[in-house]
Amino acid sequence: MGSGLTSRELLGLYRTMLRIRLFEEALENLIHRMVLPGFFHLSIGQEAVAAGVCLALRREDYVVSTHRCHGHCIAKGTPLRSVMAELLGRRDGCCRGKGGSMHLSCMEVGFVGGNGIVGANVPIATGIAYAIKYLGLGRVVVSFFGDGAVNTGAFHEGMNMASLWRLPVVFVCENNEYAISTHVSRSTSVREIAVRARAYGMPGVVVDGMDAVDVYRAAREAVERARGGGGPTLIEARGCRMVGSYVGDAQEYRPREEVEECRKRDPIPRMEELLASEGVIDEEGLKRIREEVEGEVRDAVDYALKSPFPRPEEALSDFMPGPPDLPYVSSPEEVGGDVREMSYREALNYTLREEMGRDPRIFLVGEDIGYHGGDFGVTKGLIHEFGEWRVRDTPISESGIIGVALGSSMLGLKPIAEIMFMDFIGVCMDQLMNQVAKLRYMYGGQVRTSLIVRTAYGAGIQAAAQHSQSLEALFTHIPGFRVVMPSTPFDARGLLKTAIRDENPVIFLEHKLLYDVKGPVPLTDYYVPLGKAAVRREGEDVTVVATGLMVYKALKVAERLKEEGVSVEVIDPRTLNPLDREAIAASAEKTGRLVVVQEAWPKCSFASEVVAIVAEELGGRLKGAARVTSLEVPTPFSPSMEEYVLPSEGRIIAAVKRLTRS
C-alpha cells in the first residue's frame, strides 16, 4: 500500500527533515569547537514531526514553539542563514542576537517564536487563534510542546479555552517519553496523552512521530478542521530523540538499549526507503539532494561567522517604544467642554464604552466581566452593546486570560484584560513576567505586546490577606511594563485613554476604595501623559509623595498640619513607570525633606525606589527622608487589626514632624 502522497509532498518532507538534521549536526560541530555561546537543545530524531506538521500549513499560518525550536523554525521556512546567525549571537540573526537558541522568531514566515518556559506557549497560541477568528483571517496556528508540558496549568487552561470557543488551533505534543530525565510513566497519570483531549471536547489523535507521512496526514486533517471552523485538535506524536535533552547530557537515565533502538527508527533512512519503494527518486537523486542541503548549511555557517556581533548599545533597542504623540493635559481646567461629576468607576466604564465604539480592535477579556460587569462593576452593560466576542467572559484561568491577551495582541488586536483582584496576579505571573514583558524584546521587535491589564488592589474592605495586597513593586521592578496608578476619576479616564494608545503592555492599577470617589470628568477627548506627576498641593517644608488612595490621606494630613504651621507639598506620581523623577526631585530639593506614603510593604518597594532616586539626585542637599507603609505582615481580616497595619494619617503626621523638627 502506497503512502497516498504526491512525489512533491514526499520530497518536501524529506528535504525539510534533512535540512533540520544537517543543520543541527553542524551546530553540534560548532559547539564542540567552542564557537557557539550559550546552551542548546537539539531535536535529532524528531524531524518528522516538524516536517509533517509544517507541510500541512500555509505560509500565512502561524507556529509557536518550545525551547527546542530549531526544527520547527526551519520547517516553517525561516532562512538557514538568519537562524544560524541568531544562534551565533550575530546582528544578522532572525532576532538580531537577542533571542538565541530557545527564542527564535521569524514573523515573516509565520514562525511566531520559541519559548523557554515549558507549556507557556499553549495559551499564547490560543490567543493567536482568538485573533484569527475575531478578524476572520482564515488562518491556523500550531502549538508544539513536549510531553512534559501536558502537566502544566497553562496547557490545560489553553486547551479548555480553545475548545470552548472553537478556535483554529492545532496542539502538537512531541512525546519522546522524557521531560529531561523524568520518564512519562513517572509524571503523567495516563499512558496515552491524546486521551486528555476528550476532557475538552476535541479530537485526540496518536501518530508515529518517526513517520513523517503519518504525521502529515494527521496534521493535514487537523488543520483543515481548524480552518473550516471545527475547532482544535490534539495530536500526540510518539517518537524518540536520538540525543539527550541538551548538548552535553550524558543520558544516564536512559538504558543504552533504548537509545540504540531509537536510532534504528531514524525517520530519515525510513523516508529514503519510502521514496525508493514508490519510485520517487533514485540513489543519485538522494545524493544530489543531500549535497544541495549540505551546501545550504555550509553557506549558513559561513554567513553567520562573517556576520558582525551587535554593538553593545544595541542591547537597548527593540524595547519599550516611546509614548504616543498626543495632545496631553494635566487637569480638568485644561480640557474645556462638557464636564460631568463622575465616580472613578463611572469614568472607567464611560471611557471603555467610548474607546470600544471607536476602535474595533479593542476587546475585553476576564472573569465575570460580561453579564456581571466585573466584581466592581467597571464593565457593566458593555456586553449588551458590543457582544460576547468583544466582552469575553472566561473560565477561572488567569494564565489563560493573559495568554489570550498576549497572543491576540501579536496579531494587532488591543486586548484589555481584567484580573479580578491583584492578589490573583501570582497565578499568571509567568505569562506576565516571562511572556508579556519579554517577547517583543527577545524576538528582536518582531511582535506587538500592546495590551492592558486592569486589576483592583489594596485593602480596607476586610477581605483579609489574599484579597488585599498592593503588589505594584513587582511590576515596577520588571523591565517591560508601564505601571499606572490613577487616584482621581479625571486621571482614571485620561490615563486609560493614553494607555490604550501606548504600544507597550500597561499594568493599570485601581484601588478598591477609589471606585466610589467622585470628581469632575470632561466628556470630550483628553489624554493624561504617562510619566507626568501631579502636584496635588503646594508646600514649602516637606514633600509627601503618595500613591493611589494614599493621596487622599496625604492631603488630609497636609490640611491638619497647616494649622500647626507646617507646609506640606503633596505629589501624586500617577504613573510608577515611567516615573516623573524630575518633578519629585525638584519638590524634594525645594523642601529639603521627603516622605513617601504607600499602602504596600516597605522592603524593596516603590517607596524605597523613590527615596533612593532622590538621594542620588540631591545627595547631601536632602535633609531627611522617611517611608510610611503597611506593616510587614499579611493584611488581617478584623477591622481593628487591618486599620492598625495600614498607613494611617497619624503615622504620616509623625513622619512629617520627625523630619521637620530635625
DSSP E strands: which ranges in 427-485? Answer: 452-457, 482-484
Alpha helices for 419-571 (secondary structure H): 429-430, 439-442, 472-477, 489-501, 550-562
Other CB atoms within 10 A of residue 104 CB: 27
From the list 71, 73, 64, the residue with the least C-alpha distance to 121 is 64
Question: How do 534-537 and 233-238 pair as beta strands?
Answer: unpaired
Q: How many CA atoms lie within 13 A of 329 on its CB side?
A: 17
Instruction: Give CA–CA dist 74/20, Å, rounded.
Output: 7
Cell 538580531 belongs to residue: 96
Question: What distance lies between CA 545 and its chain's CA centroid?
Answer: 31
Cβ atoms of residues 465 and 424 within 8 Å: no
Query: Which residues have CB under 8 Å from 368's CB, separation 6+?
Result: 374, 375, 393, 420
DSSP E strands: which ranges in 560-623? Answer: 568-572, 575-577, 593-597
- What distances in angstroms separate CA 532 from CA 252, 331, 562, 577, one per listed residue? 58, 12, 26, 10
Other CB atoms within 10 A of residue 643 CB: 13
The widest CA-to-CA distance across the chain, in whole angstroms, is 99
Instruction: Give CA–CA dist 105/72, Å, rounded.
Output: 10
Instruction: Give CA–CA dist 102/124, Å, rounded.
Output: 16
In the set 70, 467, 477, 511, the catalytic residue is 467
Cβ atoms of residues 547 and 574 within 8 Å: no
What HEC string does 262-288 produce?
HHHCCHHHHHHHHHHHCCCCCHHHHHH
C-alpha cell of 133?
477568528
Residues 267-282: b if buried by 16+ CB within 10 A, e if exposed: bbebbbebbeeeebbe
Instruction: Give CA–CA dist 22/55, Å, rounded.
Output: 19
Burial class (CB within 10 angstroms; exposed 0-12, middle 13-18, buried 19+) of 136: exposed
Instruction: Give CA–CA dist 473/546, Å, rounded.
Output: 14
Query: Which residues have CB under 8 Å from 210's CB, separation 6+?
Result: 45, 48, 239, 240, 265, 266, 267, 270
From the list 42, 27, 23, the residue with the least C-alpha distance to 244 is 42
Query: Is 467 a catalytic site residue?
Result: yes
**Amino acid identity at 584:** I
C-alpha cell of 67?
525551547
C-alpha cell of 639?
477591622
The catalytic residue positions are 467
